[in-house]
Structure 1
């Protein structure tokens, strides 16, 4: 199957929906590598060719898993990976580093784990506030010149940081959380990206499963969602109104809640005037089918009004550390 590709930014053509690889490692509980690979293969068969990972996911094991996909199908995939965060993101024990020497070391390690000689999109995962962004992006630009990277991206940057980075080297994409219950990027980052011709990659478009109606009241031990304020028991209860609204819209349109959440992200991109590629993650092949079907879902004015209004009812910050996301530094 083939999905019509889009120009995300800087001439980077990707599938209109990507695959978030983080879910295939043990951030939301255990994950079986063979099942994960089968899910990736199924996504690629459906035309989902834009695959997202990072060196910190599973401490490199996520990249090694995706290497198994690339081994026989590299020419079909636009692979995106990230550097800049080390430690354990599942428990919140992490640090950020963006100096030039670290950038150079990280790409070589990622290329080895991925079993490829070039990455299509290389992201700075988080900003190292101790290092000027010009130094970090300058080192990333050297990787493009060396043929190790094709395009550059930034994750969770402010509008000002994006402008400074883009002045050093064209940025193809900004990746940040964007969904019905995470709209802070619309204030500054989204308009700046649209102005500069930078595409937007929306992670957690399903609210880490919450917007899709996934049961999260009793999260398993080790599940990364324990570290997010929105998944506190009181906040989950308050946020049930968001889920109820999504479900009501889905029932009226005869689609699933996940499809409503994804269709909303696509509509926001159209309203903002920039290409948006959500990267939902899942371990199950049938969920990939459901997510891809969202490309054909159209939300009417009544649905958009209901979903836009409920965003104001969200309880809890999207990160326990305000500086970890762009809005905390704006």
Structure 2
């Protein structure tokens, strides 16, 4: 049997294969008004196409737990009934195709309130539906970004509550997996890394203090998420700094802590918290996932320039990861999983309407 097309059971959820879709922001929601943050026809078609293409699990784009948690005004959110109802339309279709619907719960932190990438991605102000970003410390991401407002302990507690409330809405919308976004320089990653976290209270300084927010969010989500459904955590395994940043060794330590707090899989990415040279190449982040898998008992997913069926099969067959997440490759080819199954001599769900193409 192909390792890529072997089912994976996590708690009470069985994912039919291990070719999964990574969260990728579409920057396509309305920026303001009653439809702000609400998924619409573009989002439905986007996710539906990948489900029809055989993808085993789909993680929606970073979905904000509050309006100011959006990375851009055009991002999805899940803080009201209109958003919950619209997400339900998507999850029902995904589940109908045998795809497990998952959601990434996120807060943009100091990197929030930016324009869409194809418009330059610059920070935007109130005149363009923007807002003042929040962060662990009054340190801007770079020279273009504003200095964020430093969160108080009361503000931190409020955000933890927002993650829990959004998880409850995600459950009502039909999601089977909840992923906490702790990577790519957004709020939770900002707290993890000493590069961006200069606090001197219980949320800064030592490793134990810097991971406090991550564990509090996981605890809050796990408390409202059903026991038989899995919780994931996405981490940037390294800041790619020689010193002063988050490290692979800390990632391995965090993996154990997350597992003890009820996390079922670590989604291993890297970077995003500081501008640093990254040696990008095929599968360049897989070694970080492999290190976590070798050092812990927590299942891991690998991501980063995984494009070919044989490449993905080898990662899993070699025991470097338990699943692979595809990003841009699934943008190029929504039916990647179906094509990979054919190449590897495996079987994957094909909609009745598409059987003539098999």
Alignment TM class, shorter chain as reference: 0.5 to 0.7
Taking a change above 3 Å as real, the CA distance of residues 57 and 18 of structure 1, as seen in their structure-2 partners, is farther
- In the other structure, the counterpart of 1:16 is 18
Residue 293 of structure 2 aligns to a residue whose secondary structure is helix
Residue 178 of structure 2 aligns to a residue whose secondary structure is strand
- In the other structure, the counterpart of 1:136 is 214
Correspondence 1:159-308 to 2 at 5 A: 159-176=252-269, 180-184=281-285, 186=287, 188-205=288-305, 258=307, 260=308, 262-281=309-328, 287-297=333-343
Taking a change above 3 Å as real, the CA distance of residues 17 and 161 of structure 1, as seen in their structure-2 partners, is same
Residue 301 of structure 2 aligns to a residue whose secondary structure is strand
Q: Normalization by structure 1: what TM-score?
A: 0.55
Residue 48 of structure 1 aligns to a residue whose secondary structure is coil
Unaligned runs of 5+ in 2: 30-38, 64-69, 124-132, 137-150, 184-188, 198-202, 204-208, 238-250, 272-279, 345-358
Per-residue Cα deviation, 1:14-42 (whole angstroms, up to 9, x for no partner): 23212234253359xxxx95354224223
Q: How far apart are the structure 2 equivalents of 1:283 and 1:36?
A: 14
Does the CA contact (< 8 Å) of 1:263 and 1:295 recur in 2?
no
Per-residue Cα deviation, 1:53-107 (whole angstroms, up to 9, x for no partner): 2224655427657543125555753313132434047437676669454132134
- In the other structure, the counterpart of 2:230 is 151
Per-residue Cα deviation, 1:274-301 (whole angstroms, up to 9, x for no partner): 31222335786x7112454124546xxx
Aligned length: 237
Per-residue Cα deviation, 1:208-237 (whole angstroms, up to 9, x for no partner): xxxxxxxxxxxxxxxxxxxxxxxxxxxxxx
- In the other structure, the counterpart of 1:70 is 91
Structure with the bigger percentage of helix: 1
Does the CA contact (< 8 Å) of 1:159 and 1:189 recur in 2?
no
From 177, 180, 184, the counterpart of 1:120: 177
Is 1:44 the equivalent of 2:44? no
Residue 123 of structure 1 aligns to a residue whose secondary structure is strand
Q: How far apart are the structure 1 equivalents of 2:327 and 2:296?
A: 25
Q: Normalization by structure 2: what TM-score?
A: 0.52
Q: How far apart are the structure 2 equivalents of 1:139 and 1:83?
A: 11
Does the CA contact (< 8 Å) of 2:106 and 2:180 recur in 1?
yes
Q: Which has the higher contact order (CA 8 A, sep 6+)?
A: 1
Pairwise CA RMSD: 4.1
Q: How far apart are the structure 2 equivalents of 1:134 and 1:83?
A: 16
Q: How far apart are the structure 2 equivalents of 1:204 and 1:118?
A: 24
